Structure 1
Amino acid sequence: MIVVTAPTGDIGSQVLHGLLDAGEAIRVIARDRSRLPADVQGRIEIVEGSHSDGTVLNRAFDGADRLFWLVPADPRAASADAAYVDFARPACEALKQSRITHVVSISALGRGWLKNAGHVTATLKMDDMLAATGVSYRALACASLMENVKRQAGLIKSQQAFYWPFPQDQAEPTCATRDVAAVAVDLLKNPTWDGFAEIPMLGPEDLSFREMMAIASEVLGQPVTYHEMSDEDLRGMMLKRGASEGMASAMVNMMVAKKEGMDHLVPAEDRSNNPTTFRTWCEEVLRPAVLAA
């Protein structure tokens, strides 16, 4: 039995479908079962509630041996530590009392970065805490996700513009959520691994935002111009949308660390686990999103 958290999110839903296609027995933790597709609900066990709740976790972990762990975004949390470390504390206690032996978690690049990198620093603390329970643990250390571009599909369609606080000519790794989910599914289907390790999710290539928007322009058949925001613009935008001061600062700190080279700490030696190019992603994910915006 595999427990899947965040089963209605972008990555979690793809992990859920991949495991179902493989014939695995699945139990999900979901705040609202109505958000799960009707054709899926009859094929899985559902425990309603939050996976920050120890009682919910104990029910979900009963009889299970594997876990897919993903912390949902919470921009209103008091801080990044509250959003990740404190959120995961009940899971640590529940894991110690369960029969779960293998955990796959969605994490971030940045191991070895010495400055505060906001979300990344908190995520790595969470990884260490969960791994310390004694389970075999694989952290999928993600670069920035291509899906971050999709979040601005409406602006891309209406204003032919994309806004982000990053130098336009600085090349960075990016990965597609489909590739991250595929690696998670493979690890959960084949739990022959042990110990604690990180698996870098770097995508197949490093691209600058200038290059990415040029590709998007070609695929969409319309110009898409990149606009570099300031860090303070990002902070202000998050606060205006309801984020806490702590989470807005965490986002800014993460972006500063990325600009200073955090995502290049891992040598890009083997990228075969992330085959989706940005062009393919634009053709198959971004273009439909922009057309529907």
Structure 2
Amino acid sequence: MYIILGATGHVGSAVAETLLSKGEPVTIITRDAGKSEKWKRKGAEVAVADVHDVETMRRVFRTGKRLFLLNPPASPDTDTVAEEKKSLASIIAAVVGSDLEKIVAESTYGAHDGEGVGDLGVLYEMEQKLAETRIPSSIIRGAYYMSNWDWFAETAEKEGKIYSLYPADFCIPMVAPEDLGQFAAQLLTEPIDRTGLYYVEGPETYSPADVANAFSEVLKKPVETVVIPRTEWIPYLTKTGFSQKAAEAMAAMTDVTLDKKFEVSNSPVRGNISLQQYIAQLVSAKG
């Protein structure tokens, strides 16, 4: 049995869908009982559990042998780092004594030790804590999620604009969540002793201007990139619903990316979905 933590998100759902399409037994963990029927219709088992309930989580983990671990992102109107550290501590506590034989965990480009670097520090801590459990684990460091641009599907259509903290011509590695999920599913089904640290990107690097052009092509209307100056990052983020601490964390992570203070691989795993394909699917899904 494969246990999927985070199946209601972009990447986790792709992991579950991929495994189910291959006839593999899957258990989805969700705290929202209302989402159970969708997965049951697809052939999955569903366990309703709160990520902070260590004992319940451990019982669920014991029903399977392999786990896909995605630390749930905290709501941006909270202190995201504090909340994500709490959920991570609960998950790691539940893993201990669970009898799992292999874990595949979703991390990110830029994960590194340090305070004041937002999710990058939390995910680095996850990598280290998993190593301490001595359960064979593979770590996926995914590039910038293309799904981060989902927020701007509405502004692209209604205003002809997308908003970016990065310069319009700043190219960064990006990847579609579906590609990450499919790769994670592959790692889950490999032999126990086949583990490693993997960097995963899309077919090429893209810039915010490329995102605007992709929306423009699909919507058949001009779409421009509005660049938020560095001095305005935190006010802009708080205006859009981020807490002060979450805005500060996002600004810190953006700084890391802009200054390119993160490891990359000379031979990353390459996904197949282009930015243009992703944006076309996004707009189609939103009608």
Q: Which residue of 2 aligns with 1:60?
A: 60
| Amino acid corresponding to residue 206 of structure 1 in structure 2 | T
User: CA, structure 1 residues 39+214, in 2 after alignment: closer, same or farther (shift >3 Å)?
Assistant: closer
Q: Which residue of 1 aligns with 2:12?
A: 12
**SS of residue matched to 1:262:** coil
Which sections of structure 1, spanning at least 5 residues, go unmatched?
none
Counterparts of 1:156 and 1:19, CA distance in 2: 34
Counterparts of 1:203 and 1:178, CA distance in 2: 10
| Amino acid corresponding to residue 96 of structure 1 in structure 2 | V
TM superposition shift of 1:191:
3.5
Deviations 1:78-135 (A, max 9, x none): 351x233331222222222111021111111125687843211221112211221111
Counterparts of 1:57 and 1:205, CA distance in 2: 38
TM superposition shift of 1:141:
0.6
Which sections of structure 2, spanning at least 5 residues, go unmatched?
none
* Kept after mapping to 2: 8 A contact 1:5/1:12: yes
TM superposition shift of 1:35:
1.9
Q: Which residue of 2 aligns with 1:106?
A: 106
TM superposition shift of 1:242:
4.5
* Kept after mapping to 1: 8 A contact 2:118/2:253: yes
* Kept after mapping to 2: 8 A contact 1:63/1:99: no
Length-normalised TM-score, structure 2 = 0.90
More divergent stretch after superposition (85-94 vs 143-152)? 85-94
User: CA, structure 1 residues 219+193, in 2 after alignment: closer, same or farther (shift >3 Å)?
Assistant: farther
Q: Which runs of 4+ in 1 moved over 4 A?
A: 111-116
User: CA, structure 1 residues 84+17, in 2 after alignment: closer, same or farther (shift >3 Å)?
Assistant: same
Q: Which residue of 1 aligns with 2:275?
A: 278
**SS of residue matched to 2:163:** strand
1:1-293 → structure 2 map (5 Å cutoff): 1-38=1-38, 40-41=40-41, 43-74=43-74, 75-80=76-81, 82-111=82-111, 116-195=116-195, 197-231=196-230, 233-263=232-262, 265-272=263-270, 274-283=271-280, 285-289=281-285, 292=287
Aligned length: 286
User: CA, structure 1 residues 286+78, in 2 after alignment: closer, same or farther (shift >3 Å)?
Assistant: closer
The Cα RMSD (Å) is 2.3
**SS of residue matched to 1:253:** helix
TM superposition shift of 1:14:
1.6
Counterparts of 1:171 and 1:238, CA distance in 2: 22
Counterparts of 2:128 and 2:62, CA distance in 1: 23
Counterparts of 2:94 and 2:39, CA distance in 1: 30
